[in-house]
Structure 1
Amino acid sequence: MTPPSLKSPQRRALLLASTAGLGLAASSGAVRAMAPARPRTRLRLGMIGTGLRGQVLLRELLRREDVEVAALCDIEPLMLAKALAMAEKAGRPRPATWGEDRDPEAWRQMLAKAGLDGVIIATPWEWHAPMAIGAMQGRVAVGCEVVAGITLQDHWDVLNTQLQTGTPYMLLENVCYRRDVLAVLQMVRAGLFGELVHLQGGYQHDLRAVKFNSGDPAKPYGGGVEFGPKGWSEARWRTEHSVQRNGELYPSHGIGPCAMYANIHRGNRFTHINAFASKARGLQDYVQAQGGKDHPNARVRFKLGDIVTTSLACENGETILLQHDTSLPRPYSLGFRVQGTKGLWMDVNQSIHIEGRSKPHQWEPFQPYQDRFEHPLWKKHAAAAEGAGHGGMDFFVIHAFVEALKAGAPMPIDIYDAVAWSAITPLSEQSIAQGFKTLEFPDFTAGAWKTRKPIFAFDERY
């Protein structure tokens, strides 16, 4: 899908139309279930956005006998054709399609006419909030790719719609299902690290060849320094965020697991946030090196700091540090660290130290601990997840959404998780813009965090 400009009148009109009729922030603090929440054995699902990310998730849907992929929507004919070819290759009936006429409102027609139980939203970030709101208002359950909204108001609007309609909403954060991440969750719950004190995570991933390419659909990564209308795939829309915004633009990969470990919204919550940004050099250097100093994009000034560091404080006394690092050369890492009164785990060196078990001042290899504390989900579904995207994580996140929706059960990554994790972005932007000011973190649960119980990943169905 090609998004409207980040600040365009079209985008504002979309948001206003999508949120029409919404009241003030709901105060019940309770995530409602669809009523009646009757168990189902098979779902009719649709997908909005059939680009490269959408196709990865579509593959998981097409593998399932309990899912009928009934409808697809995209305004890029090439991507829509690729998705249809995937359905045909899988031996599935041809889904109904919307968007061939490039109408940016085609998704509304699909939601109104396709008779769906749920929809996967895998579009550029600007579309997530209006599309999720439109789906929930139509009582179509939402599985939304990460980033719930752009502005802080977007997040309140998504939350209020879910609370008022009761329509299920899940943020499709796949890293919460990473094999080592879930093993560490088991270790945290078993008390192996003692009382948690500090957590770290982030998105540390060289995206220069994602944010720029030649504009050739056959070469979506690298090969040029075009972005925006001349770019292709993510370079067409994602790079503009680096031009216009300065903050923690992609928090959920890091904060999702950390929030699970710290029981955020289930006896704990974020209370304060601040963010710092370094100077911006990496993207301009890359454009000049790859395209030459005379290329028009060599004169673009990127607002996004090369390294953005965000700190959060929690009600129960833990601190969390996130780092966004996508504009400089580096190997991929999410930089997880879980530290408590009895020891710590770090994913960068795949090592662990537990007082009383490890030799003093020495690391141990993590793998034996991961094997011992393997999460039941991986014990049960490892074979089914083999070959799925991102080392199997994409199988688990789709499986979780489908199984919870079939059962009429709460979504394991629910609306409160979605908006709080994603709202880190506009809050970090605000902190940086105000001279790295520390801000109070909104309580999206209206106090319900005090009584909600930890449920994530305990149910072996999802």
Structure 2
Amino acid sequence: MNDAAPQNHDISRRSVLWTAGAAAGAGIGAGALGTGSASAAERTGRAEQAGVQEAPAPKRQGQSMIGVPFQRRSTVRVGLIGLGNRGGSMIDLYLAVPGVRVVALCDPVKAKTEAAAAKVTAAGQPAPAVYVHGDHDYEQLLKRGDIDFVHIATPWDSHFEITRAALLNGVHAGVECPASMRLDQLWELVDLSERTRRHCMQLENCCYGRNEMRVLRMAHAGKFGELLHGAGAYIHDLRGLMFDPKYYEGPWRRLWHTRLRGDLYPTHGFGPVANYMDVNRGDRVVSIVSVGSPALGLAEYRQANMPAGDPSFKESYIESDRTISLVQTAKGRVIRLEHDVSTPHPYSRINSLGGTKGLFEDYPERIYLEPDQHDDNWGDFSKYADWDHWLWKEHANPPGGHGGMDYMLVFRLMQCMRLGLVPDFDVYDAATWSAPVPLSHLSVKAGGAPQRIPDFTRGDWHRSRPGVDSEKPAQA
């Protein structure tokens, strides 16, 4: 699932792989679902409070995936698992990119799969294979042997297991946000990617937003001077959607508010700022401190809007209405992350970056750079359009939702696969951007105690290397 911006509420019901498992887990303690076993999570929290040094990384089982290109191919054969709000819309973008063939689809709701298959044939491609026999039929899809890349757009509970199965079957995996809710599973995805030599990518569309890519190029050109701080967020009033069975099929997303207290959805804000600061490409994030407000918003909304006797009244919400985290990097930079989906607020990802020469702030977009601006007057960011990334210069009016960033993500990823290029981000980024989910929970639960963020690159973060700020390939 990826809610990068407000969407039309009149959408068919969300695909729900493993919703039964999510519902069954509603009564399980938060620690048990946050970072593995409850005892392990508690031990980790106590160790961090006591000032214990970061545990050594698990021994590498394969070779680093940094700088590993895709195998060049004339046609990229794609499978999609999960065809609800997200997957059902993303299929249109794969069909819009040249050199891509959608060969297989999977969702336990047959009507969704049939509707997606009809899109494929309407686009002039052969009818795709469909997998509709229960929550685990994706295993058969991944065993086909003719899929190069799989897009995983299912509820969060299932992300890890499906991604794991893709890698073990030799399929490059792109997974919606977050990659996993547990730290041990993030490490396992790193190990699996290195062992199988298949890429595992967090499909973070916000990294391809026009503003984000413009700020990225300006930052790397030194326009902001030495970088000091940044901020990102997911602030989106989802109260109505979380109680709407026509939007999320089943209560899976709302139930996470009964389990964890930290930042459930950090990647939209974290990914772009990490790119600005070259995290895993010359800098790394080392620690996170999180605090959270009381959990009141969902219960108040339920009381005011849900009928008496609704099953949701059996739920006890513990997720902080507003979580604020401070992330420190090895170079001393500070990243502020915020999460709030249960109180009234206009949509915002904050998206700010500051340095010794000025800063940018989004929502609304504004800029203040020396010597261009002075006397406390914000500048017009549209005047910096010359700094747009080449993707946005070539695709000024991209199709699809979220302002075109979805298409940019798909186009660029498929381009890298067709031309045999190194992907813009990799499994180390996926693990890093998702790590605040369990670690912010531990920090909030421990009264704001700092938590160490693992170095998923195992020391390779020192290596300067390209990322989303890519050069236009010479090939078509």
Alignment TM-score, normalising by the size of structure 1: 0.88
**3-state SS of paired residue (1:5):** helix
Aligned residue pairs total 430
- Following the alignment from structure 1 to structure 2, what is the Cα–Cα distance between the partners of residues 335 and 33? 31
Computed over aligned residues only, the root mean square deviation of the Cα atoms, in angstroms, reads 2.3
Deviations 1:68-96 (A, max 9, x none): 10000111112112212222332322100
Structure 2 equivalent of residue 419 of structure 1: 431
8 Å contact from structure 2 (residues 17, 155) kept in 1: yes
Deviations 1:253-279 (A, max 9, x none): 000110000000000000111111100
- Following the alignment from structure 2 to structure 1, what is the Cα–Cα distance between the partners of residues 140 and 310? 41
- Find the partner of 2:333 among 284, 308, 318: 318
- Does 1:451 pair with 2:463? yes
Pair 151,68 (structure 1): closer, same or farther in 2 beyond 3 Å:
same
- Does 1:400 pair with 2:400? no
Q: By how many angstroms is 1:29 displaced? A: 6.8
Pair 34,452 (structure 1): closer, same or farther in 2 beyond 3 Å:
closer
Structure 2 equivalent of residue 161 of structure 1: 192
8 Å contact from structure 1 (residues 29, 448) kept in 2: no
Pair 286,438 (structure 1): closer, same or farther in 2 beyond 3 Å:
same
**3-state SS of paired residue (1:364):** coil
- Find the partner of 1:432 among 433, 444, 457: 444
Pair 146,191 (structure 1): closer, same or farther in 2 beyond 3 Å:
same
Q: By how many angstroms is 1:421 displaced? A: 0.3
Structure 1 equivalent of residue 270 of structure 2: 255
- Following the alignment from structure 2 to structure 1, what is the Cα–Cα distance between the partners of residues 158 and 394? 35
- Find the partner of 2:347 among 329, 332, 346: 332
- Following the alignment from structure 1 to structure 2, what is the Cα–Cα distance between the partners of residues 296 and 128? 26
Structure 1 equivalent of residue 124 of structure 2: 91
Deviations 1:47-78 (A, max 9, x none): 11111100111010112231110000111112
Q: By how many angstroms is 1:393 displaced? A: 0.5
Deviations 1:141-160 (A, max 9, x none): 11111211121111011110
* Letter in structure 1 aligned against 2:320: G
8 Å contact from structure 2 (residues 207, 468) kept in 1: no
- Following the alignment from structure 1 to structure 2, what is the Cα–Cα distance between the partners of residues 354 and 33? 34
- Does 1:199 pair with 2:230? yes
- Does 1:271 pair with 2:286? yes
Identity of aligned residues (%): 33
8 Å contact from structure 2 (residues 367, 381) kept in 1: yes
- Following the alignment from structure 2 to structure 1, what is the Cα–Cα distance between the partners of residues 372 and 17? 54
Q: Which runs of 5+ in 2 are unaligned?
A: 1-15, 37-56
Q: By how many angstroms is 1:113 displaced? A: 1.9
8 Å contact from structure 1 (residues 29, 445) kept in 2: no
Of residues 51-60 and 89-98 in structure 1, the stretch that sits farther from structure 2 once superposed is 89-98
- Following the alignment from structure 2 to structure 1, what is the Cα–Cα distance between the partners of residues 61 and 288? 23
- Does 1:5 pair with 2:51? no
8 Å contact from structure 1 (residues 34, 408) kept in 2: no
8 Å contact from structure 2 (residues 142, 169) kept in 1: yes
8 Å contact from structure 2 (residues 286, 454) kept in 1: yes
- Following the alignment from structure 2 to structure 1, what is the Cα–Cα distance between the partners of residues 439 and 415? 33
8 Å contact from structure 1 (residues 32, 163) kept in 2: no
Q: Which runs of 5+ in 1 are unaligned?
A: 17-22, 221-231
**3-state SS of paired residue (1:187):** helix
Which structure's relative contact order is higher, taking Cα pairs within 8 Å and 6+ residues apart? Answer: 2
Runs of 4+ in 1 over 3 A off after TM superposition: 6-9, 32-35, 292-296
- Does 1:105 pair with 2:136? yes
**3-state SS of paired residue (1:339):** strand
